[in-house]
């Protein structure tokens, strides 16, 4: 009853639709390139740099693949499919490596239009697929994670599952054996590219099996579909999956009567293999991490201490408002609501669309589990909108008016997404000035040396300096974040120096210690003979503390950009490791570039202001004395100059950095921290550190111990 009038689009028209949708998707991803192409600070090696931190992991790994640099102790393996694909493409296309990684997301991510159009064609509704392709390819969430420069696995993370949906819809619609192999192939490719897809694909298997048992239990072909899904999700190499699926397919296709007799033994055998190779264990781990926000971070090694959970600091993994949720999926709240209505109607009209429910469900958990999941709902909501639009307009009798209406409402739905693209001008991860410092470090440091920084900068450091790091975007659990946070925020330079040497050596030793059963921080403590973290940290402040043998150099990386997240960095070490119920008072830190000097008052924004004649800082209605005032600026020849004035014995400290157009309001904790002392003031213990690079954007010190 709800079905649309069927269209019979020719192959030529189908190809034309695919080309138009693809060029549309790619061209809008060039708006960001056009906006930044004239800004020299975002270029390196005559090309725009990428705009995602994680991309530098894959870029570094791809270079390792190309150069055959295999390091068994690397915390980030190079066998990732992303690195392998990039290395392969770099050998095929005659462009620079920087150009390749810049544009890969735009050209590969835009492939989403193909399965969307083909899904429409599978229902003889190619126009529906075409409209869905236009909307789905540029919807806020999907665009953000496949834009030019967003060099990440997301470029295929949705393309592959939508191809899965297409292969399943073909099999469910036509019920011929020849449509079984594409199921395993598409699922196997997705599993190869993105192992976390295990949960989604298991949900597909479950929904097909339950639907078959409840609705169509006598149809053996539906069980065949479930079987080929099952083969695709087995924890086996991709080639082995394809071989197994091919053998079963040949048996089913050429020995139909015999295969019916042995179908259930085959099915049960593969079910056993599924549970034997992992089953729901991996799914439960993901659910605990993202849905239930389980703060237990170490599931394979013991932990007696309580660390700060990094998930709590990631915006992508937190609750989001409904309007943000809707706009991320469809560009506008009204479009989203219409898409939901259309999606339900489309499922009623085309029953095979039921298999898309896991994809939509995963997208919808974003409302409570973080905006990172919204991307999964984009394609099917786009189909929902396209279906509703065509269903409403098919009643218009005059063809020209019907076409005009479809075009008008399609453009109306597309416009908010276009407006978002025009405004979403996220900068590159680093500027060329910062990269220059890291390239200089590359010439100084050896590949086995360590650079210690916050985890946000781990991958870019590895890419440009070709060194090792403690933490990065893939290794940032509480036990490794604690020592990094401690080094960056402690007020004792000797403790920081001792921690730098200790944790570096034990991190390296831990890679080869097959008997290691503790997390990294507790492993180091126990090897040093401590059980109590407070006793251990106190011992680090002693000059006579005996350090392990030095095996490599260590560098401390302090970028200007870390200033904005310093309070977040502090959270990971300013806590009671033994008692999670004891909440430490957080020190005071405020940074601003919003400055208005009215003569008597300097307004710093957010309710903070400086009352000049009283030497006080006003925090809302509270008045706090200025303890010290520092003006830190660079001379014309880039020499740092520090002018200091003392006003009171207690209060907050005010740091004016005119070279950066910035004010800092900090208490003594931050004033005396490693980061503020060494980056802002360039003050350091000459017995412990020596400066390597003192650039206004990033300062790098070498540990002498």
Question: Torsion angle, CA of 242/246/252/255, rounded to 10 degrees?
Answer: -160
Q: Are residues 32 and 167 in the same domain?
A: yes
556: phi > 0 → left, psi -120 to 50 → alpha, else beta; which?
A: beta
Cα 289 from Cα 296, distance rounded (Å): 8
Q: Are residues 614 and 548 in the same domain?
A: no
Contact by Cβ (8 Å): 182, 245: no
Q: Which residues in the chain land under pLDDT 70?
A: 1-2, 70-79, 256-259, 278-303, 311-318
> 180 is written with which tokens?
């079984």
- Ordered strands of the 698-703 beta sheet: 468-469, 450-452, 554-559, 698-703, 689-694
Among 397, 423, 449, the domain-final residue is 423
pLDDT of residue 1: 52
Question: Torsion angle, CA of 684/689/692/694, rounded to 10 degrees?
Answer: -10
> 182 is written with which tokens?
């594409």
The answer to whether position 703 is within a domain reads no
Contact by Cβ (8 Å): 473, 457: no
The answer to whether position 682 is within a domain reads no
Q: Are residues 385 and 417 in the same domain?
A: yes
pLDDT of residue 281: 58
The answer to whether position 580 is within a domain reads no
| Helix boundaries (H) for 454-527 | 458-465, 478-489, 493-512, 520-527
Among 518, 541, 571, the domain-final residue is 571
Q: Are residues 286 and 336 in the same domain?
A: yes
Q: Are residues 251 and 396 in the same domain?
A: yes
Q: Are residues 301 and 238 in the same domain?
A: yes
Report which of 698, 566, 681, 564 is spatially closest to residue 630, judged by C-alpha positions. Answer: 681
Cα 213 from Cα 675, distance rounded (Å): 62
The answer to whether position 69 is within a domain reads yes
Q: Are residues 373 and 506 in the same domain?
A: no
CB burial class (10 A; 0-12, 13-18, 19+) of residue 640? middle
The answer to whether position 247 is within a domain reads yes
Q: Are residues 26 and 142 in the same domain?
A: yes
* Tokens 């089953």, residue located: 279
Cα 660 from Cα 679, distance rounded (Å): 13
pLDDT of residue 295: 47
Contact by Cβ (8 Å): 551, 505: yes
Query: How many other C-beta atoms can be found within 10 angstroms of the C-beta atom of residue 246?
Result: 14
Cα 112 from Cα 18, distance rounded (Å): 10
| Helix boundaries (H) for 194-280 | 198-215, 220-233, 238-254, 256-276
The answer to whether position 624 is within a domain reads yes
Among 571, 597, 623, the domain-final residue is 571
Cα 326 from Cα 329, distance rounded (Å): 5
Main-chain dihedrals φ then ψ at residue 666, nearest 5 degrees: -140, 155
For 653, residues 6+ apart whose C-beta sits below 8 A from its C-beta are 626, 627, 628, 629, 630, 664, 665, 666, 667, 668, 671
Cα 224 from Cα 209, distance rounded (Å): 10
Q: Are residues 383 and 452 in the same domain?
A: no
Cα 112 from Cα 700, distance rounded (Å): 43
Please give the model's pTM, rounded to 2 decimal places.
0.89
Cα 248 from Cα 225, distance rounded (Å): 12
> 297 is written with which tokens?
């971070």
Q: Are residues 319 and 366 in the same domain?
A: yes
Query: What is the enclosing helix (H) or strand (E) of 633?
Result: strand 622-634
The answer to whether position 403 is within a domain reads yes
Question: Looking at the 3D structure of the chain, how many domains does it have?
Answer: 3
420 CB-side CA count, 13 A: 21
Q: Are residues 419 and 438 in the same domain?
A: no
Sign of CA dihedral 525, 530, 536, 540: negative
Cα 528 from Cα 536, distance rounded (Å): 9
Length of the chain: 705
Cα 135 from Cα 95, distance rounded (Å): 30
pLDDT of residue 298: 42
Domain of residue 211 covers 11-423
Question: Torsion angle, CA of 616/622/627/629, rounded to 10 degrees?
Answer: -50
Q: Are residues 453 and 349 in the same domain?
A: no
Main-chain dihedrals φ then ψ at residue 310, nearest 5 degrees: -65, -25
Main-chain dihedrals φ then ψ at residue 520, nearest 5 degrees: -60, -45
> 674 is written with which tokens?
């490693």
The answer to whether position 558 is within a domain reads yes
pLDDT of residue 4: 83
What CATH number should be reported for the domain holding residue 457?
Answer: 3.40.1380.40
């Amino acid at each position: 009853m709800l079905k649309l009038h069927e269209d019979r689009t020719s192959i030529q028209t189908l190809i034309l639709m695919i080309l138009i949708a693809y060029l549309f998707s790619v061209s809008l991803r060039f708006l960001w390139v056009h906006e930044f192409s004239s800004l020299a600070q975002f270029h390196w090696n005559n090309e725009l740099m990428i705009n995602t931190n994680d991309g530098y992991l894959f870029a570094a790994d791809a270079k390792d693949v190309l150069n055959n640099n295999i390091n068994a102790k690397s915390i980030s393996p190079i066998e990732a499919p992303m690195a392998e694909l990039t290395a392969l493409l770099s050998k095929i296309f005659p462009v620079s490596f920087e150009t390749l990684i810049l544009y890969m997301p735009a050209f590969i991510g835009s492939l989403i239009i193909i399965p969307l159009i083909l899904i429409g064609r599978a229902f003889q509704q190619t126009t529906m697929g075409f409209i869905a392709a236009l909307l789905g390819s540029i919807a806020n969430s999907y665009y953000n994670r496949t834009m030019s420069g967003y060099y990440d696995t997301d470029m295929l993370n949705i393309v592959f599952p939508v191809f899965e949906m297409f292969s399943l819809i073909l099999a469910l619609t036509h019920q011929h054996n020849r449509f079984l192999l594409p199921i395993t192939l598409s699922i196997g490719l997705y599993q190869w590219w993105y192992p976390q897809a295990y949960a989604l694909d298991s949900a597909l298997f479950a929904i097909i099996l339950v639907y078959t048992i409840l609705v169509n239990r006598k149809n053996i072909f539906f069980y065949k579909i479930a079987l080929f899904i099952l083969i695709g999700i087995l924890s086996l190499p991709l080639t082995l999956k394809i071989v197994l699926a091919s053998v079963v397919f040949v048996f089913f296709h050429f020995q139909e009567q015999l295969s019916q007799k042995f179908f259930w033994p085959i099915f049960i055998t593969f079910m056993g293999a599924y549970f034997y190779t992992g089953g729901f264990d991996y799914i439960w781990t993901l659910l605990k991490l993202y849905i239930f926000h389980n703060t237990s971070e170490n599931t394979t090694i013991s932990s007696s201490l309580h660390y700060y959970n990094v998930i709590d600091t990631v915006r992508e993994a937190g609750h989001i408002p409904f309007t943000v949720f809707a706009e991320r999926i469809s560009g506008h709240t009204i479009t989203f609501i219409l898409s939901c209505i259309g999606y339900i109607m489309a499922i009623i009209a085309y029953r095979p669309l039921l298999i898309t429910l896991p994809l939509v469900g995963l997208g919808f958990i974003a409302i409570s589990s973080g905006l990172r999941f919204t991307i999964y709902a984009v394609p099917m909501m786009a189909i929902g909108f396209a279906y509703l639009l065509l269903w409403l307009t098919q009643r218009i009798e005059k063809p020209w008016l019907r076409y005009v209406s479809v075009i008008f409402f399609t453009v109306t739905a597309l416009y908010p997404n276009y407006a978002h693209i025009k405004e979403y001008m996220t900068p590159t991860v680093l500027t060329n000035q910062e990269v220059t410092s890291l390239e200089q470090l590359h010439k100084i440091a050896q590949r086995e040396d360590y650079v210690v920084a916050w985890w946000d900068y781990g991958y870019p450091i590895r890419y440009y300096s070709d060194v090792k790091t403690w933490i990065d975007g893939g290794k940032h659990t509480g036990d490794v974040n604690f020592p990094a946070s401690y080094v960056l925020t402690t007020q004792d330079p000797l403790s920081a120096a001792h921690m730098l040497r200790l944790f570096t050596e034990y991190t390296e030793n831990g890679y080869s210690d097959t008997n290691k059963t503790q997390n990294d921080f507790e492993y180091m403590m126990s090897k040093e003979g401590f059980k109590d973290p407070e006793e251990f940290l106190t011992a680090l402040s002693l000059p006579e503390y005996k350090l392990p043998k030095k095996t490599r150099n260590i560098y401390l990386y302090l970028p200007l950009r870390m200033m904005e997240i310093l309070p977040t960095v502090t959270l990971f070490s300013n806590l009671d490791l033994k008692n999670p119920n004891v909440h430490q008072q957080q020190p005071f830190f405020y940074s601003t570039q919003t400055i208005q000097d009215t003569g008597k008052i300097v307004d710093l924004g957010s309710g903070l202001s400086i009352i000049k004649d009283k030497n006080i800082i006003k925090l809302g209605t509270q008045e706090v004395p200025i303890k010290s005032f520092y003006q830190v600026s660079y001379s014309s020849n880039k020499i740092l100059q520090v002018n200091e004035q003392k006003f009171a014995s207690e209060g907050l400290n005010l740091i004016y950095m005119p070279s950066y157009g910035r004010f800092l309001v900090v208490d003594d904790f931050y004033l005396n921290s490693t980061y503020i002392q060494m980056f802002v003031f360039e003050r350091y213990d000459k017995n412990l550190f020596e400066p390597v690079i003192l650039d206004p954007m990033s300062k790098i010190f070498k540990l002498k111990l």
